[in-house]
Amino acid sequence: MALIGGKVRIAMKSSNQDAAVAIESRKADYKNAMACLGAAINIVTTDGVGGRAGFAATAVCSVTDNPPTLLVCVNRSSSVYSVVKENKTLCVNVLDGAHKELSKLFGGKTSVDERFSSGIWKESANGLPILEGALASLDCRIKSGIDVGTHEVFLCEVVSIRTKDDGNALIYFNRDYYVIEPRTCDMHTALR
Ligand SMILES: Cc1cc2nc3c(=O)[nH]c(=O)nc-3n(C[C@H](O)[C@H](O)[C@H](O)COP(=O)(O)O)c2cc1C
């Protein structure tokens, strides 16, 4: 009996291992596919009762222009998640080509103070950190969120916008940084 029980246990362990390997393989395939999806890099900031925080993010997407709404995906295991959640506000700073090093700083395991010690930071009308020289800064109020796997998808209503007329785009593609120039999109026209 003990031997049979032992065999059953070994078989179960093996099937659990197979499932774990299959999940890891599916994750790797997905990540490789996402590396093909070039995306603008943003620094998402927040401030308020939960404190100040900021992180690099590519999972930012326009939802609608009426009311102006952005979707921002935040990893629930990141240090910034609870801060964003408590503040219920965030500002999406769309990075210029000159912000590559700043992007690395905000995308790494660095302290909040270290992150904000680089770059020129001003305050939005709602008291959120705005990056001087960003292509656009969109000050948002979080309206709702939905948990999806490791992340929470926040739907954010844009309450104020700042843009600049010139600059280049900073794009993350194939796990590396690229600068797109000249900038072909007139932000002011696009926002009218
Ligand atoms: C290019 C790039 C894009 C990223 N995009 C996202 C994102 O969309 N959402 C997110 O939650 N984290 C994203 N990250 C990871 C966060 O920036 C990172 O978790 C955070 O800065 C460091 O983790 P910590 O806050 O736990 O210290 C990205 C990182 C890089 C380098």
pLDDT at residue 12 tops 80: no
Q: pLDDT band for 92, please (50, 70, 90 cuts).
A: very high
Closest ligand 1 atom number to CA of residue 177: 1
pLDDT in tens, 113-123: 999 999 999 99
DSSP one-letter string for 54-106:
EEEES-EEEEEETTEEEEEEEETTSTTHHHHHHH-EEEEEEPBGGGHHHHHHH
Summarised one tens digit per residue, pLDDT across range 20-77 is 999 999 999 999 999 999 999 999 999 999 999 999 999 999 999 999 999 999 999 9
Residue nearest to atom 27 of ligand 1 (CA): 109
Query: What's the pLDDT score for residue 187?
Result: 55
pLDDT value at position 150? Answer: 97
Q: To 5 degrees, how large is the angle CA 137–CA 109–CA 40?
A: 35
pLDDT of res. 99: 98
Which atom of ligand 1 approaches the CA of 103 most closely? 31
CATH of 39-191, one of 3.40.50.300, 3.40.640.10, 2.40.50.140, 2.30.110.10: 2.30.110.10
89 pLDDT above the threshold of 90: yes
Identify the residue whose C-alpha is closest to ligand 1 atom 19: 78
Give residue 192's pLDDT: 45
Cβ contact 138:158 at 8 Å:
yes
Helix (H, G, I), strand (E, B) or coil at 156: strand
Q: Which is it for strands 39-40 and 169-173: parallel, antiparallel or unpaired?
A: antiparallel
Query: What is the reported pLDDT for 137?
Result: 98
Which pLDDT does position 20 carry in this prediction?
92
Which ligand 1 atom is the nearest neighbour of the CA of 57?
A: 5
The finding on whether 82 has its CB within 6 A of some atom of ligand 1 is no
Choose which residue among 34, 55, 153 to substitute to test ligand 1 binding: the one with the highest number of ligand atoms within 8 A of its C-beta. Answer: 55
Instruction: Give the model's pLDDT for residue 1.
Output: 44
Q: Supply the pTM of this predicted model.
A: 0.89
The predicted structure's pLDDT at residue 178: 97
Whose C-alpha lies nearest to ligand 1, atom 4?
57
- DSSP state for residue 31 in the 8-state scheme: H
Tokens of 68: 């102006």
pLDDT band at 5 (very low <50, low <70, confident <90, very high): low
Q: What is the pLDDT of residue 125?
A: 87
pLDDT of residue 188: 56
Helices (H), the chain: 2-34, 81-87, 100-106, 112-116, 187-191
Write out pLDDT tens, residues 125-155. Answer: 889 999 999 999 999 999 999 999 999 999 9
